[in-house]
Amino acid sequence: MTRPLLYSVCTGNSCRSPIAEGLARAWGEGRIEAVSGGLEAHGLNPRAVETMQEIGIDISHQASTTIDLGLLTSADYAITLCGDADERCPWTPPSVKPIHWGFPDPAKAQGTEEDMRNAVRPVRDGIGAPVRAFIEEIGPRS
């Protein structure tokens, strides 16, 4: 049986979509294939890496990349994580189910280092809820 491909998309592929990819990989336990891409590549946000490490998930090996159109059009699901990506995400064939989970961009947070880290945590946790539900819909491990 082929694993469904979940493609997470946000504007810069620096925070929200790498978080979604990391959560899906870790929690999906091999039941799904998870990738991410951005309309642009802004570099992996170190605060996203740190806040994921807080919950035991390492995304430091992930790269901030632009959308791979070949992979996107062969995905089973394309999840946009911000309004910008939802509006500007490239067209996908009917075989790709579009899903939108909108979250604010924590990379735009300002203030102290702790303020900026604190802006990532609720987004990480907010993305976590639909990722868990998505994985539960796929069904149990074989």
Q: Is 10 a catalytic residue?
A: yes
Q: Are 98 and 76 in contact (CB under 8 A)?
A: no
d(CA 82, CA 119): 15
Residue 138 resides in a domain? no
Residue 62 resides in a domain? yes
Q: Are 109 and 90 in contact (CB under 8 A)?
A: no
Residue 30 resides in a domain? yes
CATH of residue 37's domain is 3.40.50.2300
The model carries a pTM of: 0.92
Per-residue pLDDT, 138: 82
Domain count, the chain: 1
Residue 19 resides in a domain? yes
Burial class of residue 141, CB neighbours in 10 A (0-12, 13-18, 19+): exposed
Residue 102 resides in a domain? yes
The catalytically annotated residue of 7, 8, 9, 10 is: 10
* Residues spanned by the domain of 116: 5-133
**Tokens read off for 84:** 């910008």
Residue 142 resides in a domain? no
Q: What angle do CA 13, 30, 3 make, to 5 degrees?
A: 85
Task: Render pLDDT for 50-81 as a digit per residue (tens, 0 to 9).
Answer: 999 999 999 999 999 999 999 999 999 999 99
Q: Is 15 a catalytic residue?
A: no
Residue 41: its H or E element: none
The catalytically annotated residue of 24, 79, 82, 120 is: 82
Residue 126 resides in a domain? yes
